[in-house]
Amino acid sequence: MDLSPDWVVGFTDAEGCFHIRVNPHPEMTCGYQVLPEFVVVQHQRDLQVLHAMKRFFGGGTVRRNHGDRYALRIRRLSVLERVCEFFLAHPLKTRKNVQFRKFRRVVLMMLQGEHLTPEGLARIVRICMQMNSADRPRLREVLHQLQQRIKR
């Protein structure tokens, strides 16, 4: 199955998700790990569409999500860079484009290593707090911890 750029944009406008999680991680310099992820979920009858999207972006993993639903998840930063270049050149038409632009800012900052300093990580957390899927109370707490560390 070959996918055209516009088909991928239309399908992502409907089914794609741009998530960023900020998880505690004792081995990271700032105590937190930033995990951006592009996800597409489908019923198992359309598993081949997820594999076609995986080929289209040149990366990601397709696994069972729950029940009869499968997910393509792209987490590797080098592949997310391609995903971001693609959706910058072929803009989403729904309001999901607003989410994408915040997601892309974080991916670009991570490619510059900004998530490895408390100041950069705090900027990333502030962007994440503006995203639809954000767990704001938890992110506020992370931001508070980072600000304590910056003040020291």
Q: Residues interacting with a second copy, by CB under 8 A?
A: 1, 3-15, 42, 45-46, 49, 52, 93-95
**Residue at token pair 């750029």:** 5
Nearest to a second copy of 64, 144 (CB atom): 64
Q: CA-CA distance, 56 to 33, in Å (whole number)?
A: 27
Beta carbon of residue 56, minimum distance to a second copy (angstroms, whole number)? 11
Backbone angles phi, psi at 20, to 5 degrees: -135, 120
Nearest to a second copy of 97, 147 (CB atom): 97
Beta carbon of residue 139, minimum distance to a second copy (angstroms, whole number)? 22
**Residue at token pair 């289209």:** 56
Nearest to a second copy of 99, 145 (CB atom): 99
- Here the tokens at position 41 are 């979920």
Q: In terms of C-beta density within 10 A (0-12 exposed, 13-18 middle, 19 or more buried), how is residue 45 classed? A: exposed
Beta carbon of residue 133, minimum distance to a second copy (angstroms, whole number)? 14
